[in-house]
Amino acid sequence: MSFGLPVLLVSLLFVPVLAGVYVWQLRRRRRQAVRFSDVALLRSVGAGSRPWRRHAPIALVLFALTLLGLASARPTVRAQVPVSSSTIILALDVSGSMCATDVDPNRLAAAQAAVRSFIRNQDDETKLGFVVFSGFAQLAVAPTVDRDELLEALDAVTTGRGTTIGAAILRSIDAIAELDPNVAPSDAVDEPTTDGPGTVDPTPAPAPSAGAGGSSTGEKPDVAPEIIVLLTDGANTRGVTPAQAAEQAAARGVRVYPIGFGTTNPTQMACTRD
């Protein structure tokens, strides 16, 4: 236990002082007591009375002053409490290809409907985060239990060019790391180089760093309670590769569940809310 204002604990010294004054007053009254020659009369007058009752009011006052002195010093206790709820990061692909209508009404609208249903079906203790990605990945909503904020962000998404699946996974890891000290933030990865149209030369992911959420000894990491749900329709077109990002997630014990939207025969593009 610690105190925010320990100097106020000095006020507790008044409690024993007041108690001493009270005891001194009692002894003084005894010295000034009137002597009675009839002992039987004294016994009849004092019969049925309980001596402790007259001391109860001052005892309660002293106890209240003690509590007041302790409260004024602002005592605080830090303790770790178990948290039964988990955190889920929803990473949604908002690239232009999500406008394909091979899924009714289109891939994006179908994915939004699935995410909306998932959010509403979660209990009140589960924290949900929302990451959107196209040409880059961004955390739209930090992990929260506010369902309205998540639904508003989901309805407000717009499409962009490119698909950065790997960056979305790394951004999700960083969002988890801000909540869970046992999960380390993502490591920096060199950007892949493009040798030509559609050709990507990935660079190897760095070895996981020792410490929280990672181990350089090759030991299997503990499984983190947080998970990432990735919703996409295509392949990574730029940035960190999904394999590199998945290795970092695995090194931290973070599970990634990919969900694909679309068919092998995409049709016309039409992004509408209907």
Question: pLDDT for 186-210, tens place per residue?
Answer: 998 776 544 443 334 443 444 444 4
Q: How confident is the model at residue 132 (pLDDT cuts 50, 70, 90)?
A: very high
Phi and psi dihedrals of 163, rounded to 5? -140, 115
The yes-or-no verdict on residue 133 having pLDDT over 80 is yes
The yes-or-no verdict on residue 41 having pLDDT over 70 is no
List, in order, residues 6 or more apart from 117 with CB less than 8 Å away: none
For 45, the enclosing helix (H) or strand (E) is helix 39-46
Q: Give pLDDT tens digits for 139-169.
A: 999 999 999 999 999 999 999 999 999 999 9
- Nearest CA to 103 out of 92, 117, 113 is that of 113
Instruction: Supply the DSSP string of 169-195, one letter for each residue.
Output: HHHHHHHHHTT-TTSPPPPP-PPPEEE
Identify whether the C-beta of residue 253 lies closer than 8 Å to the C-beta of residue 222.
yes
Chain-centroid distance of CA 108 in Å reads 29
Write down the pLDDT at residue 28.
74
The yes-or-no verdict on residue 24 having pLDDT over 60 is yes
Average pLDDT, the chain: 81
Least confident of 63-72, 131-140, 230-239, 248-257: 63-72
For residue 247, what are its two tokens?
A: 């290795």
Write down the pLDDT at residue 37.
54
Q: CATH 3.40.50.410 region(s) of the chain? A: 87-260
Domain 87-260 has what CATH class? alpha beta
Q: Which carries the bigger pLDDT value, residue 224 or residue 215?
A: 224
Write down the pLDDT at residue 197.
39
Across 49-73, average pLDDT? 81
Q: How confident is the model at residue 211 (pLDDT cuts 50, 70, 90)?
A: very low
* Distance (Å, whole) CA 90 – CA 269: 24
CA atoms within 13 A on the CB side of 43: 3
